[in-house]
């Protein structure tokens, strides 16, 4: 069936000494892995103390910053008590009318209040008055709070304290401009303990306030206006009027700074000046990201360094935060000498053990190579006389008369067994050659179906002896290039498996077809039997060298376990693949699909494709 044209592709040689290179690498990994683990464990032990110190410092810093936030909250609480009392006084003096003169006089006398607004129960603005001329300050205030006062419901349903998540710094001022926060009360965690305020009047008023009086609707609002965050405290009087006090931002910042230690490390409350403050710097950062105030040591300079800890302030300063800066803790690791000595001793012991293992492994490799060479030599020696046995058997079959059936049967058995032995020897030699020299293909022009028919004709007597009948459906009749010897060896291995394991199936189906264009023509061959089949867990292991199926399947059946692996290597060298397909529903058996690249034309000098896993095998 083959034409005169043929093209032999050079063999792909496997890497020499791959086992010898992998073995030292594996031993090096075995030695290095415990050393690395021990080194990591030792370093972890040495760093544990530093991590504990860092964790304790983080807790102390967080507690320190939260205590400052609590001081601010207490200050706002005292302002809240003061505004409640002053609102009552203002209501009593004006008999609930809140005349413009009285309110203006109150604003002029208060240092902490920048402006006041009053809304009626119906939501109408009573102050600044809408029916009287306004001074410049009142006009500016009305313009700034236009959207704020347009929604009276804001002052009726206070929400919980809108404190941001821990560690979240304030947003950029430019991105939150014109955005108003919800009205909210101060945190319920503010205690009733005695409080300090830099404003003596607030301190005295806090001590004289009756905390058992009925609570009225009230809350704090923080909104963005003019140059930054503005705070308003509002409450409802007995008549349902809403009275709001807009704080003087400059005075508020001054009061908050007075609650903090001074930059030199001394402050009003000397109990809060700790070693943390002296060896670090704490910054009060406003909503625009600007440092409003800082105190502590001089260890930190500039704004490029990131803070070690950040705590957002509570409402109504929720967009402000406190940042803690300090130099990094020095890395202190002791006990290195003992660790190094232990690592050196362990490395020496493991290296000695690895060397002994390598020597033993090398000796076993040499013995294994000698055994393989012996098998190859024996196989070569058997091949020539076996060929003569088959030749003379065929000649004798031709000379025997047809009326001697017993002799014909005996000669058939001799020829069948000689063919089986020839295939076994060819598999052994091909497997050894593939591992030593790589797999090569010799392209010849021919027809796929013709070579399949030759193999079917060769195996028909053998399979008939096992009560198996071959059913061949050929549709690969296009002239193409392929390695006929590789195709014959692949089919021999597949049909040999059918002979050994699928005798109870009665039939062996072989079908072929071709797909693709002239230069990319592919030929497909499916070999199916109806025996017990192969489990899904063993489907990939079948192609591993020397692997044989389950004991129930292989019991009493001889074999080497190299046939399917060699067949797949040949298919991959032929730029194809050999796979075990899933069994169709309601059927049994093994279904192998062989794909081969069989172009109509072959480019001279085109290299073979080596199996993907060939370079990794011995």
What's the burial of 435, exposed, middle or buried (CB within 10 Å: 0-12/13-18/19+)?
middle
**Which of residues 301, 325, 349 is at a domain's end?**
325
pLDDT in tens, 92-112: 888 888 898 999 999 999 889
User: Same structural domain for residues 73 and 214?
Assistant: yes
Round the average pLDDT of the chain to a whole number and report it: 75
Better pLDDT: 494 or 617: 494
Reply yes or no on whether the pLDDT at 43 is more than 80: no
- DSSP labels for 119-156? E-TTS-EEETTSSS---HHHHHHHHHTHHHHT-GGGGT
| Mean pLDDT of the region 382-409 | 72
What angle do helix axes 405-437 and 563-573 make, rounded to 10 degrees? 60
User: Same structural domain for residues 464 and 592?
Assistant: yes
pLDDT tier at 592 (50, 70, 90 boundaries)?
A: very high
Residues 6+ away with beta carbon under 8 Å from 133: none
User: CATH number for the domain including 580?
Assistant: 3.30.565.10
482, part of any domain: yes
Task: Give the count of beta carbons closer than 10 Å to the beta carbon of residue 47.
Answer: 14
Structure tokens at 241: 């009027």
320 preceded by a cis bond (ω within 30 of 0):
no
Q: Facing residues of 296 across strands? A: 281
CB 459 within 8 A of CB 500: no
| 3-state secondary structure labels for all residues of 562-589 | CHHHHHHHHHHHCCCEEEEECCCCCCCC
Distance of CA 75 to the CA centre of its chain: 48
Q: Facing residues of 13 across strands? A: none
Reply yes or no on whether the pLDDT at 494 is more than 80: yes
Domain count, the chain: 2
pLDDT in tens, 172-195: 333 334 444 456 777 665 544 444
pLDDT reported for residue 281? 86
User: Same structural domain for residues 319 and 442?
Assistant: no
User: Same structural domain for residues 585 and 455?
Assistant: yes
pLDDT reported for residue 595? 92
389, part of any domain: no
Better pLDDT: 172 or 239: 239
Reply yes or no on whether the pLDDT at 267 is more than 50: no
Percentage of the residues of the chain whose pLDDT score is greater than 70: 67
How far is Cα 173 from Cα 288, in angstroms, rounded to an integer? 4
pLDDT reported for residue 83? 92
**Which of residues 282, 310, 325 is at a domain's end?**
325
pLDDT reported for residue 611? 42
The answer to which of 237-246, 362-371, 543-552 has the lowest mean pLDDT is 543-552
Reply yes or no on whether the pLDDT at 440 is more than 50: yes
- What residues make up the domain containing 60? 52-325
The answer to which of 149-163, 404-418, 429-443, 576-590 has the lowest mean pLDDT is 149-163
**What is the number of alpha carbons within 13 Å of residue 557 lying toward its C-beta?**
19
**Residue ranges of the alpha helices (H) in 478-550?**
484-501
374, part of any domain: no
How far is Cα 63 from Cα 260, in angstroms, rounded to an integer? 15
453, part of any domain: yes
pLDDT reported for residue 169? 39
Better pLDDT: 199 or 219: 219
Task: Give the count of beta carbons closer than 10 Å to the beta carbon of residue 404.
Answer: 11
Better pLDDT: 21 or 89: 89
375, part of any domain: no
pLDDT reported for residue 315? 86
Distance of CA 603 to the CA centre of its chain: 45
pLDDT reported for residue 606? 45
354, part of any domain: no
pLDDT reported for residue 427? 64
316 preceded by a cis bond (ω within 30 of 0):
yes
557, part of any domain: yes
Task: Give the count of beta carbons closer than 10 Å to the beta carbon of residue 373.
Answer: 12
Rounded to 10 degrees, the C-alpha dihedral 525/456/509/501 comes to -110
**Which of residues 325, 340, 360 is at a domain's end?**
325
Q: Is 113 helix (H, G, I), strand (E, B) or coil?
A: strand
pLDDT reported for residue 346? 82
User: Same structural domain for residues 98 and 247?
Assistant: yes
Reply yes or no on whether the pLDDT at 320 is more than 70: yes
pLDDT reported for residue 353? 84
User: Same structural domain for residues 243 and 102?
Assistant: yes
Structure tokens at 144: 């700034």
Q: What is the pTM of this model?
A: 0.47
pLDDT reported for residue 303? 57
Q: Which of 497, 408, 485 is nearest to 454 (CA)?
A: 485
pLDDT in tens, 132-168: 898 998 888 888 888 888 777 777 655 444 434 333 3
423, part of any domain: no
Better pLDDT: 136 or 432: 136
């Amino acid at each position: 069936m083959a034409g005169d044209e043929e093209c032999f592709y050079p063999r792909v040689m496997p890497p020499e000494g791959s086992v010898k290179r992998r073995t030292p690498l594996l031993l090096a990994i075995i030695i290095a892995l415990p050393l690395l683990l021990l080194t990591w464990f030792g370093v972890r032990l040495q760093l544990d103390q530093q991590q504990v110190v860092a964790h304790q410092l983080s807790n102390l810093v967080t507690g320190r910053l939260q205590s400052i936030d609590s001081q601010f909250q207490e200050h706002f609480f005292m302002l809240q008590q003061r505004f409640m009392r002053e609102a009552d006084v203002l209501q009593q003096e004006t008999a609930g009318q809140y005349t413009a003169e009285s309110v203006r006089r109150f604003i002029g006398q208060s240092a902490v209040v920048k402006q006041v607004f009053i809304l009626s129960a119906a939501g109408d603005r009573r102050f600044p008055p809408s029916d009287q001329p306004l001074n410049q300050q009142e006009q500016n205030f009305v313009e700034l709070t236009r959207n704020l006062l347009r929604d009276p419901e804001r002052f009726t349903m206070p929400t919980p304290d809108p404190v941001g998540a821990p560690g979240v710094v304030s947003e950029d001022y430019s991105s939150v401009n014109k955005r108003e926060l919800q009205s909210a009360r101060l945190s319920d965690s503010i205690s009733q303990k005695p409080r300090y305020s830099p404003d003596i009047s607030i301190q005295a008023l806090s001590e004289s306030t009756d905390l058992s009086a009925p609570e009225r609707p009230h809350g704090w609002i923080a909104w963005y206006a003019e140059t930054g965050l503005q705070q308003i405290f509002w409450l409802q009087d007995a008549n349902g009027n809403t009275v709001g006090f807009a704080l003087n931002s400059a005075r508020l910042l001054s009061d908050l700074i007075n609650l903090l230690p001074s930059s030199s490390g001394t402050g009003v409350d000397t109990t809060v000046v700790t070693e943390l403050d002296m060896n670090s710097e704490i910054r009060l950062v406003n909503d625009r990201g600007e440092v409003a105030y800082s105190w502590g040591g001089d260890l930190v300079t500039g704004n490029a360094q990131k803070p070690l800890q950040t705590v957002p302030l509570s409402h109504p300063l929720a967009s402000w935060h406190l940042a803690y800066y300090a130099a990094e803790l020095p890395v202190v690791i002791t006990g290195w000498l003992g660790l190094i000595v232990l690592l050196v001793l362990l490395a020496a012991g493991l290296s000695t053990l690895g060397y002994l293992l390598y020597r033993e492994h090398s000796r076993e490799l040499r013995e294994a190579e000698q055994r393989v060479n012996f098998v190859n030599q024996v196989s070569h020696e058997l091949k020539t006389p076996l060929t003569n046995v088959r030749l003379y058997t065929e000649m004798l079959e031709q000379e025997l008369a047809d009326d001697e059936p017993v002799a014909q049967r005996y000669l058939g058995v001799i020829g069948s067994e000689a063919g089986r032995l020839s295939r076994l020897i060819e598999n052994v030699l091909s497997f050894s050659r593939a591992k030593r020299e790589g797999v090569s293909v010799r392209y010849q022009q021919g027809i796929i179906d013709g070579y399949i028919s030759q193999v079917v004709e060769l195996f028909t007597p053998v399979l008939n002896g096992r009560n198996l009948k071959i059913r061949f459906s050929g549709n690969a009749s296009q002239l193409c290039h392929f390695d006929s010897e590789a195709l014959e060896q692949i089919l021999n291995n597949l049909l040999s498996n059918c002979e050994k394991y699928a005798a109870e199936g009665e039939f062996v189906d072989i079908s072929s077809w071709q797909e693709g264009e002239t230069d990319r023509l592919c030929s497909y061959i499916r070999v199916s039997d109806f025996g017990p089949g192969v489990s899904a867990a063993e489907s990939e292991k079948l192609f591993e060298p020397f692997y044989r199926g389950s004991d129930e399947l292989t019991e009493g059946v001889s074999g080497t376990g190299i046939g399917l692996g060699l067949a797949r290597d040949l298919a991959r060298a032929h730029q194809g693949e050999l796979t075990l397909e899933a069994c169709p529903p309601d059927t049994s058996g093994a279904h192998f699909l062989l794909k081969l690249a069989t172009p109509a034309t072959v480019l001279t000098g085109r290299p073979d494709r080596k199996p993907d896993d060939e370079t990794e095998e011995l």
